[in-house]
């Protein structure tokens, strides 16, 4: 039997406060909910670093309980040969996992919706010149005779080395790992693309 389950961002958009209005969960679905929550709680979250890993982990748990899915479909009167019905059943099960406060599923759902890995990291090499303070700190390097600046928004490995003027790598070559980010700059009254620092290596 072919079955399809789609669990998109819906898991993060559920209003759990309306739980009393939910349809009563049948014994077969409750058994599957317990099995899924138990399976997810045993996952090694240290090995799940992006949404692709999280979705695969969840689908592996779901696939390992495919027999229970068929029983739940029978209990709910759902025809699994229909893609729409299969998706609706999957969403219902995910929703009920949230409503029953399966903590491991909530944690996994956040990772499933994390798209940060889609942002491509880039590297630029140049000689350190200075740090400009324009509301935020900008690390400035010289590359092929021109200056390039990179905005410092979040902590990155060894970022404390750039906090004190006495420890700055003046005149040294740096390799800056960065990602492009669009931000609103009040002083310029508009949105601009900036290069956000994700890491700096002193060469």
Mean pLDDT of the region 84-113: 82
Which residues in the chain belong to E strands, given as ranges? 122-133, 137-143, 146-152, 173-185, 190-202
Lowest mean pLDDT among 16-25, 110-119, 169-178: 16-25
Helix (H, G, I), strand (E, B) or coil at 139: strand
Q: Give the per-residue pLDDT at 173.
A: 93
pLDDT > 70: what percent of the chain? 83
CA distances in angstroms from 120 to 115, 116, 140, 143, listed in the order given: 11, 9, 21, 21
DSSP 56-81: HHHHHHHHTTHHHHHHHHHHHT--TT
Alpha-carbon distances of 195 from 97, 171, 203, rounded to whole Å: 39, 21, 20
Show the CA angle centred on residue 19, arms to residues 15 and 48, nearest 5°: 55
Domains and CATH numbers, the chain: 10-117 (no CATH), 119-202 (2.40.50.140)
Residue 194 contacts residue 181 (beta carbons within 8 Å): yes
Its sign, for the CA torsion 183, 186, 187, 189, is: positive
If you search the block for the tokens 């099960």, which residue do you land on? 93
Worst-scoring range by mean pLDDT, 37-41, 52-56, 68-72, 186-190?
A: 186-190
Q: Are 62 and 120 a contacting pair, CB within 8 Å?
A: no
Would the pTM count as exceeding 0.75? no
Quick: pLDDT tens for 51-65: 888 888 888 888 888
Provide the pLDDT confidence category of residue 187 given band limits of 50, 70 and 90. low
Nearest-Å Rg of the Cα atoms of the chain is: 24
């Amino acid at each position: 039997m072919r079955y399809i389950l789609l669990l998109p961002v819906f898991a993060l958009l559920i209003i759990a406060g309306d739980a009393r209005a939910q349809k009563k969960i049948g014994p077969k679905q409750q058994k599957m909910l317990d099995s899924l929550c138990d399976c997810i709680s045993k996952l090694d979250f240290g090995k799940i670093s992006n949404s692709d890993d999280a979705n695969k982990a969840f689908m592996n748990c779901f696939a390992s309980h495919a027999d229970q899915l068929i029983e739940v479909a029978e209990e709910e009167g759902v025809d699994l040969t229909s893609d729409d019905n299969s998706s609706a059943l999957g969403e219902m099960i995910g929703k009920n996992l949230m409503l029953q406060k399966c903590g491991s599923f909530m944690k996994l759902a956040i990772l499933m919706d994390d798209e940060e890995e889609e942002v491509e990291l880039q590297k630029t090499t140049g000689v350190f010149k200075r740090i400009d303070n324009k509301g935020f700190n900008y690390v400035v390097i010289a590359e092929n005779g021109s200056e390039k600046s990179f905005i410092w928004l979040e902590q990155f490995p060894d970022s404390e080395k750039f906090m004190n003027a006495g420890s700055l790598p003046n005149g040294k070559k740096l390799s800056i790992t960065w990602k492009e980010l669009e931000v609103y700059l009040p002083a310029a009254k508009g949105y601009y693309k900036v290069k956000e620092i994700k890491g700096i290596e002193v060469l």
